[in-house]
Chain A
């Protein structure tokens, strides 16, 4: 009985967040503009004869995803400070993990939307074909995204009541992003270089383990982070 209720409450929180974002569209628009800006700067700022697009592109893609996700995650709990709604959530007779899970789902939808916009633009700007590797690329992006969004959502809750929340979140989050980012960049590079899928499976497995460990840890730790 506990799990369906937890999932239902989590979906209630997530759908509310997504509706609020859909109505305001401020975060998604600012992040979309940021993505285009990064691609334009890198496209015109690098010499393709010195470093090939295929070598440079994976790093640019993941740097873009990382900063777009941080912008998104910063607003996840800021929304709850509006009119002290966070106290209302904590007072509600729901498991606190469901608040975390709801925020995680909303953040994942948000970041996935950004990634959906970014990948075609990335292919266009850097002239890197992604269609031949689309399925493994989607799996790779999904696995890497779940990991760093899970950690980012937890840190967003931890820092939201501090005076320097927008500064603290990236400072706390970036060390935890090094491993999944590293694995994702290497795996993306191998995909775009048409290496066999068996070479990438190891990276995907490590990303999956990272996801399981950090989603579980975040679910356990979240209730303690929001207690006064």
Chain B
């Protein structure tokens, strides 16, 4: 479903990706942990096709249409309502009107946004904006979800709801790559764990039932 082979990319003298390879099957979630500047966001951008790698290749079944992106910036327009934003992004993904209405209603209910559909994004709290951003990323029903620090700015409850939503989606066959510098936030969601340092995977393996504390210890050992 998602394949990365020998990805390499540099920005000037800084090597952001250095021979990164992995594959994901439907329903699998890879959590990539690493300090700031490790190359995590570059990896996501290469997987999304926003950056062309200097070497190697990234392939997602279904191409760009199959990708959803949730970042720490919501990619929404503040002057538009939640509904208008979702309509705009659905149009760019050629989602038919009938499907749009069904998905929009379902997502708004799942994300607790049904009372905010006609409010402008600029009037919403940070937590509600992030929920709207999740609805935006899922409006075209992507088969692969790329998440860049998605818990930034969310309170504990909203973060827990996002984790639940991602777990449900994974159970339905959606593959995800989650990058974050906070091990506690992403470990439970992952079927696979990678630790990234200086553009390389210092560790890549199935989580194999290890809890957040064990993953934290592994992370400290691998990155130190």
Give the B-binding residues of A (Cβ under 8 A). Answer: 5, 8-9, 12-13, 16, 19-20, 23-24, 79, 82-85, 87-94, 227-228
What is the CB-to-nearest-CB distance from B94 to chain A, in angstroms, rounded to a whole number? 8
Per-position binary interface string of chain B over residues 4-29, scored 1 when its CB falls under 8 Å from any chain A CB and 0 otherwise: 00000000000000000000000000
Query: A228 and B50: CB pair below 8 A?
Result: yes
Q: Identify whether the interface residues of A are mostly helix, strand, loop, or mixed.
A: helix
**Does B152 interact with chain A (Cβ within 8 Å)?**
no
Flag the segment in B66-74, B98-106, B166-174, B201-209 that touches A: B66-74
Of A19, A87, A227, most B-chain CB atoms within 10 Å: A87
Please report the C-alpha to C-alpha distance between residue A5 and residue B94 in the assembled complex, in whole angstroms.
9
Query: A228 and B45: CB pair below 8 A?
Result: yes
Query: A12 and B91: CB pair below 8 A?
Result: yes
Query: A16 and B88: CB pair below 8 A?
Result: yes
Among B49, B75, B78, the residue within 8 A (CB) of A88 is: B75
CB under 8 Å from chain A, chain B span 32-89? 45, 48-52, 63-65, 67, 69, 71, 73-80, 84, 88-89
- Of all chain B residues, the one with the shortest Cβ separation from A227 is B52
- The interface residues of chain A lying within 8 Å CB-to-CB of B71 are 84, 87
Query: B50 and A85: CB pair below 8 A?
Result: no
- The interface residues of chain B lying within 8 Å CB-to-CB of A5 are 94
Closest 10 CB pairs of A and B: A88-B75, A84-B73, A92-B92, A23-B79, A93-B65, A93-B64, A12-B91, A20-B79, A83-B73, A85-B75
- Of all chain B residues, the one with the shortest Cβ separation from A88 is B75
Query: A228 and B51: CB pair below 8 A?
Result: yes
- Of all chain B residues, the one with the shortest Cβ separation from A226 is B50
Give the A-binding residues of B (Cβ under 8 A). Answer: 45, 48-52, 63-65, 67, 69, 71, 73-80, 84, 88-89, 91-94, 120, 136
- The interface residues of chain A lying within 8 Å CB-to-CB of B79 are 19-20, 23-24
Using known A-B contacts A91-B48, A227-B52, determine if residue A85 contacts B77 with beta carbons closer than 8 Å. yes
Query: B76 and A91: CB pair below 8 A?
Result: no
- The interface residues of chain B lying within 8 Å CB-to-CB of A227 are 52
- The interface residues of chain B lying within 8 Å CB-to-CB of A23 are 79-80, 120
- The interface residues of chain B lying within 8 Å CB-to-CB of A83 are 73-78
Of A24, A79, A88, most B-chain CB atoms within 10 Å: A88
Query: B88 and A12: CB pair below 8 A?
Result: yes
Query: A91 and B77: CB pair below 8 A?
Result: no
Using known A-B contacts A93-B63, A93-B64, A228-B51, determine if residue A84 contacts B75 with beta carbons closer than 8 Å. yes
- Give 17 pairs: A residue, B residue, CB < 8 Å, sorted on A: A12-B88, A16-B77, A16-B80, A20-B79, A23-B79, A83-B77, A84-B71, A87-B50, A87-B75, A88-B136, A91-B69, A92-B89, A93-B63, A93-B64, A93-B92, A228-B45, A228-B50
- The interface residues of chain B lying within 8 Å CB-to-CB of A87 are 45, 50, 69, 71, 75
What is the CB-to-nearest-CB distance from B45 to chain A, in angstroms, rounded to a whole number? 7
- The interface residues of chain A lying within 8 Å CB-to-CB of B65 are 93
- The interface residues of chain A lying within 8 Å CB-to-CB of B51 are 228
What is the CB-to-nearest-CB distance from A81 to chain B, in angstroms, rounded to a whole number? 10
What is the CB-to-nearest-CB distance from A186 to chain B, in angstroms, rounded to a whole number? 40
- Of all chain B residues, the one with the shortest Cβ separation from A84 is B73
Among B49, B67, B78, the residue within 8 A (CB) of A82 is: B78
Using known A-B contacts A91-B48, A91-B49, A91-B50, determine if residue A20 contacts B75 with beta carbons closer than 8 Å. no
- The interface residues of chain A lying within 8 Å CB-to-CB of B50 are 87, 90-91, 228
What is the CB-to-nearest-CB distance from B144 to chain A, in angstroms, rounded to a whole number? 12
What is the CB-to-nearest-CB distance from B136 to chain A, in angstroms, rounded to a whole number? 8
Using known A-B contacts A83-B75, A88-B75, determine if residue A19 contacts B52 with beta carbons closer than 8 Å. no
